[in-house]
Structure 1
C-alpha cells in the first residue's frame, strides 16, 4: 500500500513537472511564417497586452486541466487502498437496512470526499478566471453553482449506481450489456430534459429580446427550415465576459442558445454567422450523431471496464480492499477505470467533434456568404476568452472539440479558394 501511494505521488509530481515544462517552454505556439500578417495572426487583431494575457491565461488554464484529471485518478485509488471505500460501505450498512438507502448514503460520502479534494483546484480555476477578467461572478454566486452542481451530480450518480449495482448483482457476467441497454433511454431522456430542467438551475433563459435581430435570425432560420421557437437568449453576463452559443436538447425541447455577452459584444452580421453555425448542427443532426457515438463508446467502454474490474479485483483485491465486483465498495475502481478510458478516448471524440465544427463553419459561410463577418467573429471570440490562436499539440488533441482559432480563421478567410 505504501509503495502504491508513494509511486502515485511521485508519478503525479513528475507528470506535473513535465506538463509545466511542455506548456510554458517546450510547446511551439508561434504562428507559421506564411500566415504572418494574415487575419489569423493574433498580432493583427490583439494589442501587446492582450497577446501577453492570452498566453499567460491559456498556459495556466491548460495546466490546471491536465493536473485535475490524474488527481481524480489518484483520489479514487487512495480511497480504495486506504480502505476508505470499505469504511463508507460499512457506515452505510450500519445506518440503514434498506439497500437503496445504503447506496444513497455511500454515494453521498464518496461524492463529498471527492468534491472536497478536487475543490482547491476548482477554486484556483475560478480565481484565475476572475483575475484575468473572464469570470465576472462574485464568490457567493460561484459557490451557489458549485453546490447546485454537486447535488445534480449526486442525484444522477445515485440513480446510475443504484441501477448499475443491481444489474451487477443480478448478472455478474453480462451486467455491462444490460447497463448499456439501460443507458440508451436514460441518455435520450437526459438530453430531452436538460434544456428545461437542468440548465435553468444555473441560468435564466428567455426568447431573444432584440426583435429586429430576431427577425433577421428567423429569416435565416427559414432558409434552413428550422422552427423559430428554437432560438433562446441566456443571461451569462452575470457570470462571464466570454462569448458563446450552442445547440442543446432533442426533439421538441431542442434549442439554439445565444449568450447575452455575444449579443452585447458582436454586431448583427457576426451574430448571424454564429446562428448559422449553430443551425448547421441542428440541420446536420450533429446532436443525434453525438448521442450515437456516445452510446457506441459507452458499450465498448463498459465491456472493457467489466474485464478490467474482474482482473483488478482478482489480482489486487486485497490491496484495494475489495473482494467482489458486486460490493459497492468497488465503485471507486469503476469510476477510476471509466475516467481513464474517457481520457484515453478523448483524442478520437475530439477529432470527430472538430470535423463536425468545420462542417458547421462551412454550412454557415455558405448560408451567410460573409467571410469578413466570420473571420471577425472568431477574432472577437479569441479576445473575449483569451484563447491561444495556435495551442500546443497535446492541448489540441485532449482539450479541443473545436478546430483551433488558427485553423478556423485561415479556413474561413480563404474559403473561396477552397471551393
Structure 2
C-alpha cells in the first residue's frame, strides 16, 4: 500500500509539473501572424494590461481545471483503498436498514468527504476569479450558492442512486439497460423544471426593465417561432462581471433570459445579436440534440460501467471490502468510471458543441445582418471575461464547448468580406 501511494503521489506530481511547464512555458497564447491586426487580434481591442491579465488568468485557470480532474480520481481511489466507502455504508446501515435512509445518508457522508477535500481547489478558483476582477460575489454569498448546490446534489443524486442500485440488485445483468430506459423521462423532467425550480434558487429573475428592447427581442422570437411572451432579466452583477444570455426549458417553462451584466456592457444591437445566437440553438433544435446526445453517450457509458465495474469488484472487491457490484459501497468505483469515461469522451462531445455554437453564430448573423454588432459583442465578452482569444491546443480540445474567440471573429471577418458579393 505504501508503495502504491508513493507511486501515485509521484505520478500526480509529475503530471502537475509537466502541465505547468506546458501552460506557463511552452504553450503560445498569441494569434498567428496572418491574423495580426485583424478583428481577431486582441491587441486591436485590448490594452497591454488587459492582454497581460488575460494571459495570466487563462493559464492559472486552465492549470487548476486540469489538476482537478485526476485529483477527483485520487479521492475516489482513496475512499475505496482505505475502506472508507465500506465504513460509510456500515454507519448508514447502523442508523437504519431502509434504503430510503441508507442511500441519502451514505451519499451525505461520501459527498461531505469529497467536498471537504476539493474545497481548497474551489476556493483557489474563486480567489483567482476575484483577483482578476471576474467574480464580484461576497464570500458569504459564494458559500450560500455552494451549500445550495451541495444539498441539491444530495437530493437528486440520492434519488438517482437509490433507483440505480435497486435495479442492480434486481436485474444483475440488465440493470444498465433498465437504468438507461429511465433516463429519458428523467432528463426531460429536469429540462422542464430547471428554469422555474432550480435556477431561481440561485438568482432573482424579473421581467426585462427595458421594455423597448424586450419588444425587439420578442419580435425576433416570434419570427423564429419561439413561444415566448416575456424576457427575463437576472441580477448577476452582484456575483460576476461575466456576461451571458440563454434560451432554456421546454414546453410552457421555456424562458428567454438575459444577465444584467450583458445589458449593462453591450449596446442594444449587440444584445440582439447575442439573443439571435441563443434563439438559433432553439430553432436548430440543439437543446433536443443535446438530449439525444446524452442518451447515446449514457447508453454506452452505462454498458461499459456494467462491464468494468464487475471486473473491478472481482479484482479488488476483497481489498475494498465490497461484496458485489450492487453493494452500495461500490459507488465511488462507479463514480470513478463515469468520470474517466466522461474525460475520454470530452474531446468528441466538445467538438460537437463547438460545431453547434458556430452554426448558432451563423444563424444570428443571417437574422440580424449586423456583423459590427457581432464583432463588438465578442470583443467586449473577451475583454470582460479575460478570455484567451486563441487558447493552447490541449485547453481547446478538452475544455472548450464554444469555438475560440479567434475562430468566431475570423468567421465574422470572412462573412463581412463576402457580404457585398451576396
The aligned residue for residue 222 of structure 1 is 222
The aligned residue for residue 197 of structure 1 is 197
Q: What do the CA deviations read for 1:156-178 (whole angstroms, capped 9, x no partner)?
A: 11111100100000011111001
Counterpart mapping for 1:240-255 below 5 A: 240-255=240-255
The aligned residue for residue 306 of structure 2 is 306
The answer to whether the Cα contact below 8 Å between 1:81 and 1:321 also exists between their aligned partners in 2 is: no
Once the 2 structures are TM-superposed, how far is the Cα of residue 225 of structure 1 from its aligned partner? Answer: 2.1
Stretches of structure 2 lacking an aligned partner (at least 5 in a row): none
Return the alpha-carbon distance in structure 2 between the equivalents of residues 6 and 256 of structure 1.
52
Return the alpha-carbon distance in structure 1 between the equivalents of residues 358 and 198 of structure 2.
29
In structure 2, do the counterparts of structure 1 residues 285 and 231 end up closer, same or farther at CA, with 3 Å as the change threshold?
Answer: farther
Q: What do the CA deviations read for 1:208-267 (whole angstroms, capped 9, x no partner)?
A: 110111122122222222223263211111100011112221222122211100000100
The aligned residue for residue 395 of structure 1 is 395
The answer to whether the Cα contact below 8 Å between 2:86 and 2:320 also exists between their aligned partners in 1 is: no
What's the Cα RMSD here?
A: 1.1
In structure 2, do the counterparts of structure 1 residues 256 and 8 end up closer, same or farther at CA, with 3 Å as the change threshold?
Answer: farther
Counterpart mapping for 1:178-189 below 5 A: 178-189=178-189
The aligned residue for residue 295 of structure 1 is 295
Counterpart mapping for 1:17-28 below 5 A: 17-28=17-28
The answer to whether the Cα contact below 8 Å between 1:137 and 1:240 also exists between their aligned partners in 2 is: yes
Return the alpha-carbon distance in structure 2 between the equivalents of residues 62 and 40 of structure 1.
21
The aligned residue for residue 207 of structure 2 is 207
The aligned residue for residue 162 of structure 1 is 162
Stretches of structure 1 lacking an aligned partner (at least 5 in a row): none
SS of structure 2 residue aligned to 1:258: strand
SS of structure 1 residue aligned to 2:226: coil
The answer to whether the Cα contact below 8 Å between 1:221 and 1:279 also exists between their aligned partners in 2 is: yes
Return the alpha-carbon distance in structure 2 between the equivalents of residues 331 and 257 of structure 1.
37
Count of equivalent residues: 419
The answer to whether the Cα contact below 8 Å between 2:43 and 2:51 also exists between their aligned partners in 1 is: yes
Once the 2 structures are TM-superposed, how far is the Cα of residue 409 of structure 1 from its aligned partner? Answer: 0.6
The answer to whether the Cα contact below 8 Å between 2:273 and 2:373 also exists between their aligned partners in 1 is: yes
Once the 2 structures are TM-superposed, how far is the Cα of residue 417 of structure 1 from its aligned partner? Answer: 4.4
The answer to whether the Cα contact below 8 Å between 1:81 and 1:319 also exists between their aligned partners in 2 is: yes
The aligned residue for residue 415 of structure 1 is 415
Q: What do the CA deviations read for 1:14-39 (whole angstroms, capped 9, x no partner)?
A: 11111111111111222110101001
- Whether 1:275 aligns to 2:275 is yes
SS of structure 2 residue aligned to 1:227: coil
TM-score (norm 1): 0.98
Return the alpha-carbon distance in structure 2 between the equivalents of residues 288 and 115 of structure 1.
32
SS of structure 2 residue aligned to 1:414: helix
The aligned residue for residue 234 of structure 1 is 234
**Range with bigger deviation, 209-218 or 364-373:** 209-218
The answer to whether the Cα contact below 8 Å between 1:372 and 1:413 also exists between their aligned partners in 2 is: no
Once the 2 structures are TM-superposed, how far is the Cα of residue 182 of structure 1 from its aligned partner? Answer: 1.1
SS of structure 1 residue aligned to 2:50: helix
Counterpart mapping for 1:57-206 below 5 A: 57-206=57-206
Return the alpha-carbon distance in structure 1 between the equivalents of residues 277 and 413 of structure 2.
16
Return the alpha-carbon distance in structure 2 between the equivalents of residues 413 and 285 of structure 1.
27
- Whether 1:56 aligns to 2:56 is yes
The answer to whether the Cα contact below 8 Å between 2:218 and 2:229 also exists between their aligned partners in 1 is: no
The answer to whether the Cα contact below 8 Å between 1:248 and 1:255 also exists between their aligned partners in 2 is: yes
Counterpart mapping for 1:234-383 below 5 A: 234-383=234-383
SS of structure 2 residue aligned to 1:228: coil
SS of structure 1 residue aligned to 2:334: helix
The answer to whether the Cα contact below 8 Å between 1:40 and 1:389 also exists between their aligned partners in 2 is: yes
Return the alpha-carbon distance in structure 1 between the equivalents of residues 316 and 176 of structure 2.
21
Return the alpha-carbon distance in structure 2 between the equivalents of residues 361 and 230 of structure 1.
23
TM-score (norm 2): 0.97
The answer to whether the Cα contact below 8 Å between 2:103 and 2:162 also exists between their aligned partners in 1 is: yes
Q: What do the CA deviations read for 1:361-403 (whole angstroms, capped 9, x no partner)?
A: 0000000001111011100000010000000111101110000
Return the alpha-carbon distance in structure 2 between the equivalents of residues 106 and 316 of structure 1.
21
The answer to whether the Cα contact below 8 Å between 1:389 and 1:406 also exists between their aligned partners in 2 is: yes
The answer to whether the Cα contact below 8 Å between 1:230 and 1:256 also exists between their aligned partners in 2 is: yes
Return the alpha-carbon distance in structure 1 between the equivalents of residues 371 and 325 of structure 2.
56
The answer to whether the Cα contact below 8 Å between 2:214 and 2:230 also exists between their aligned partners in 1 is: no
The aligned residue for residue 16 of structure 1 is 16
